[in-house]
């Protein structure tokens, strides 16, 4: 299936202002600035004050995942636009065992707390979103780090299921459209014979519909807004639209000046455009 399927695993690391307090908002800002230690410090304080809330554990798992993806160089554009690199089994990565342990512990903590909340109230939007994030980051880790792409499909499907439940409850929970949008785009990018065997709830496989949903999140999302821009930038690069990617990365570099990845990727695109004369 290649990169088209596994772009979906990037849609994992945030929530929305529907539930998040200022402390979680600050933690997510630190995460987008790649200050993972600062993000964990804020989240640990929030957890100490709200030990039964599943959301901060979901963001803690996200921070562990992103720090590992950054350490392994997975977030660089050369990797993200190369299907062969993502699917390659021979080039095994060397995950950090302590990060893996902490990541899995955070995911388990989300699941335990969200399960309690959903048993008490199946329409608990915060718990649904926390589970969406937890299943999403688990998909990321399995597919990108462990290279178990096929096995991660069932987990990705569960993440989409929680997002769909959330959108039925609250169509204005804009951040949840990111998961739906990227799944639309990815399924629409697959060959028909593959698409026949891949089914996600309420997903038609319409690429333009997927892009439209990502653009909605890039305008109206809260914590997924920057990530929607990242995904739209990746799509632009894959579809040979470097100037669109340049614009999105310029916005991200301005909004998150401490993030070296945004600056480096923007410099690469600037150099590519300059050398091509386009």
CA angle 165, 170, 174 (to 5 degrees): 95
Q: What is the pLDDT of residue 199?
A: 79
List the domain boundaries for the chain.
3-276
Q: What is the pLDDT of residue 189?
A: 78
Residue 72 DSSP one-character state: T
CATH class of the domain comprising 3-276: mainly alpha
- Please report, for the chain, how many H helices and E strands are present, in that order: 15, 0
Q: Is 0.85 topped by the overall pTM?
A: no
Q: What is the pLDDT of residue 50?
A: 94
| Burial bucket for residue 227 (CB in 10 Å: 0-12, 13-18, 19+) | buried
- CA distance from start to end of the chain: 31
Give every residue of the chain whose pLDDT is below 50, as ranges. 1-20, 79, 90
Q: What is the pLDDT of residue 91?
A: 57
Residue 222 to residues 113, 174, 243, 268, Cα–Cα distance (Å): 24, 8, 25, 28
Q: What is the pLDDT of residue 18?
A: 40
């Amino acid at each position: 299936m290649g990169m088209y399927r596994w772009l979906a695993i990037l849609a994992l690391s945030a929530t929305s202002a529907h539930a998040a307090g200022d402390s979680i908002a600050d933690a997510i800002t630190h995460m987008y600035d790649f200050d993972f230690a600062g993000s964990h410090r804020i989240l640990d304080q929030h957890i100490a004050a709200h030990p039964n809330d599943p959301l901060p554990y979901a963001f803690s798992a996200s921070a562990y995942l992103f720090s590992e993806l950054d350490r392994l160089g997975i977030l660089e554009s050369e990797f993200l636009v190369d299907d062969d690199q993502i699917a390659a089994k021979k080039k095994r990565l060397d995950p950090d065992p302590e990060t893996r342990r902490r990541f899995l512990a955070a995911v388990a903590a989300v699941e335990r707390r969200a399960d309690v909340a959903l048993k008490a109230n199946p329409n608990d939007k915060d718990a649904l979103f926390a589970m969406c994030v937890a299943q999403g980051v688990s998909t990321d880790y399995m597919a990108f780090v462990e290279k178990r792409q096929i096995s991660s499909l069932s987990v990705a499907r569960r993440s989409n299921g929680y997002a769909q439940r959330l959108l039925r409850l609250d169509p204005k929970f804009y951040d949840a459209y990111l998961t739906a949008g990227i799944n639309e785009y990815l399924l629409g990018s697959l060959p028909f014979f593959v698409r026949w065997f891949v089914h996600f709830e309420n997903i038609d496989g319409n690429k333009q519909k997927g892009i439209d949903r990502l653009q909605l999140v890039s305008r109206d999302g809260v914590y997924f807004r920057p990530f929607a821009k990242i995904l739209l930038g990746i799509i632009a690069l894959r579809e040979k639209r470097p100037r669109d990617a340049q614009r999105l990365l310029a916005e991200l570099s301005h909004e998150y000046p401490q993030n070296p990845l945004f600056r480096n990727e923007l410099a690469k695109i600037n150099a590519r455009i300059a050398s091509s004369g386009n």
